[in-house]
Amino acid sequence: MTGAVLMLAGAGAGAVGGITTPAAVSWYDIYATIVGVTNVQTITAITVPISITASRTGTGLFSYVKNGTVYPYTGAFGVSPGDALAWQMSGSSVSGVVTVTNATTSTTLATFNYTLTPFRFF
């Protein structure tokens, strides 16, 4: 009986230490008027949740879109296998570069540019 308990405990510990490097992702650059969003990327090849962070140059309101819901970006957040993730910027006359990092492994996942211009009436 003790061996069975140890084997189950080992399986649980293995699940916690699962695969934390997702398959490659590539978000398109954002070129838009006032509000723009990247393409959606599905997080695959991980077996456990990971933490995502982003840093950026420039200004504007920065949000992420996880499984179709928009959240203001305030710092690290978790993603699970199969989550769909995109990025949203809003503002007028703003531009910069976003670097997305897998905080669990401290590796860069992707970078993308953004440029938002004011709405113009013609």
| Domain at 85, CATH number | 2.60.40
Inside any domain, residue 122: no
pLDDT digit string, tens, across residues 47-103: 999 999 999 999 999 999 999 999 999 999 999 999 999 999 999 999 999 999 999
Inside any domain, residue 9: no
Inside any domain, residue 89: yes
Which pTM does this prediction carry? 0.83
Inside any domain, residue 6: no
Contacts of 112 (CB under 8 A, 6+ apart): 27, 28, 29, 30, 38, 87, 97, 98, 100
Name the band, by pLDDT with cuts 50, 70 and 90, for residue 9: very low
Inside any domain, residue 15: no
* Predicted pLDDT at 70: 98
Inside any domain, residue 1: no
Inside any domain, residue 104: yes
Inside any domain, residue 78: yes
CA distance 110 to 102: 9
Q: Name the residue among 42, 40, 59, 51 with its Cα closest to residue 100.
A: 51
Count of structural domains, the chain: 1
**Does the pLDDT value for residue 5 go beyond 70?**
no
Give the domain extent around 93: 20-117
